[in-house]
Amino acid sequence: MNRFGRILISRQIVINALRIALVVGTLLNIINHGATLMDGLPIPWGHIAMNFIVPYCVASYSAAKNKMMNQEKKSKTI
């Protein structure tokens, strides 16, 4: 696995991305599907899941990219 992949699946990145996805995904689901859920209509499970998956992907990619760039800067200054 390449360096970016190892950083991407590191414990710290995964835990933080899960936390962010939980908060952002919940807010998105309330905004996008609150009325549907309150009215007892069928739940669009695919959309519900995507509201958690997309923030997870964005948060983990951004954190991993940032960590990799910071490591590169440190190695250049040493």
Q: Which amino acid is at 70?
A: N
First to last CA, the chain: 26
Q: Is the pLDDT of residue 78 over 80?
A: no
Q: How confident is the model at residue 76 (pLDDT cuts 50, 70, 90)?
A: confident
Query: Residue 9 has what DSSP assignment?
Result: T
Determine which helix (DSSP H) or strand (DSSP E) holds 41, and give its type and residue range.
Answer: none
Query: How far, in Å, are 6, 27, 32, 51, 60 from residue 23 at the CA level?
Result: 25, 6, 14, 10, 14
Tell me the pTM.
0.88
**Does residue 40 contact residue 51 with C-beta atoms inside 8 Å?**
no
Q: Which residue matches tokens 């992907």? A: 57
User: What's residue 77's pLDDT?
Assistant: 78
Q: Is the pLDDT of residue 62 over 70?
A: yes
